[in-house]
Structure 1
């Protein structure tokens, strides 16, 4: 989670407010009173998290270990929580729409953070040969009061006009590498499914055209790829 986002939550959430962290196992939000995650409390803290020194409001008794995508209501009442955090989680999940639905059921307000399209479509995040994080399932678009999910296709890694360079990634600030949604009462969540390849390609090219347009006509672009494919067939 962005440091400034964590600080804002701490400023705005009252001492008596009940806070839920959804999918927080890798780096739990210490202010959370409850955490729900697939992994157990005892192994929490994968990324730069010292569970021995952090002051945690949650404990083993308020850590719910379960599959948050299993299409069963979470074991919380409607509007039980004043605030819910779901940071760097939705892009990993097989069913982010269900998780969004449960977030709006059990909480009155919340904060969602996902990788931005700029990070998720850049080389060099998690490896030199592929774009974004290797384990992420979704590209996420965040607008005011809304989040949209698009399946992250494999071919974006191989085509220069579908991804941004590692040099571009290196210039991004921490805030540019994420997309954040602050919501109250509810928010819109959808999956966009592209049935036409041309429409998907146009969607993937959006950030490239905006920031590195020369890549669209580079030898590794779709045009060059199709020409090479035709030559191989002859």
Structure 2
């Protein structure tokens, strides 16, 4: 069977997809996976948890408004699912994990790692997500930033001049400054993001599963 590799998630992890797979993208948002056959997102207009960016649709692919904790698909409807940067927002972890395994035979879940969350923890992230083998772990995230002012500074630099800083607890410069400092901060932002991708073994939680997986919640 023919397979093709696709860069998947914010980490751009290469995953091989078989050509005959039916693939679901849960939380497709502003960056739908190119291999997905069906797109799903909880919100169409509310972009508060989509980094302020509008949803992107593909006329050739069905789009379904669906909660990842209660999806309107038959059991085993998909061969593979992609769930990138959704799990850290979830309200009902048991329902979420059960639904992933119910609707798909296999899948890929990606979130920021706990290391990343400790550095630039956005307030709308409810969980630190990690994995070990076939176990997906959810640790309750604090409301306030763990590193206080240092985390606020990193968030301001990492998202400098982007829509992610809107209505967030960031330093004033994050909205944009004049030259020549603007040029410096743009390049610093680009360098930080490159380092983040190169260090994806540390900066992202990347969880592949086949058939069934276990999950765990801790405070």
C-alpha separation in 1, matches of 2:144 and 2:11? 33
Measured against aligned partners, the alpha-carbon deviations of 1:20-56 in whole angstroms (never above 9, x if no partner) come to 0111113211211112211239x9x86889958xxx5
Measured against aligned partners, the alpha-carbon deviations of 1:163-200 in whole angstroms (never above 9, x if no partner) come to 79949x9595320321100111111112113xxxxxxx
- Note the 1:48-127 alignment, pairs <5 A: 51=56, 56=58, 59=61, 62-69=62-69, 72=70, 74-122=71-119, 125=120
Go from structure 1 to structure 2 and tell me whether the alpha carbon gap of 1:149 and 1:67 turns closer, same or farther (over 3 Å shift): same
| Pair 1:137 & 2:126 matched | yes
Whether contact under 8 Å (2:80, 2:107) holds in the other structure is yes
RMSD between aligned residues: 3.4
Whether contact under 8 Å (2:41, 2:65) holds in the other structure is yes
Detail structure 1 runs of 4+ shifted over 6 Å in the superposition. 45-50
Unaligned runs of 5+ in 1: 126-131, 194-234
Pick the structure with more strand per residue. Answer: 2
C-alpha separation in 1, matches of 2:36 and 2:59? 6
Aligned length: 169
C-alpha separation in 1, matches of 2:30 and 2:37? 16
Aligned position for 1:187: 213
Go from structure 1 to structure 2 and tell me whether the alpha carbon gap of 1:46 and 1:34 turns closer, same or farther (over 3 Å shift): farther
Where 1:16 maps in the other structure, the secondary structure is coil
C-alpha separation in 2, matches of 1:150 and 1:23? 21
Pick the structure with more helix per residue. Answer: 1
**Structure index of larger Rg:** 1
Whether contact under 8 Å (2:81, 2:108) holds in the other structure is yes
Unaligned runs of 5+ in 2: 1-8, 159-191
Aligned position for 1:22: 26
TM-score (norm 1): 0.61
Where 1:190 maps in the other structure, the secondary structure is strand
C-alpha separation in 1, matches of 2:60 and 2:213? 26
TM-score (norm 2): 0.65
Deviation at 1:87, TM superposition (A): 0.5
Aligned position for 1:222: none
C-alpha separation in 2, matches of 1:141 and 1:3? 15
Q: Which has the higher contact order (CA 8 A, sep 6+)?
A: 2
| Pair 1:147 & 2:136 matched | yes
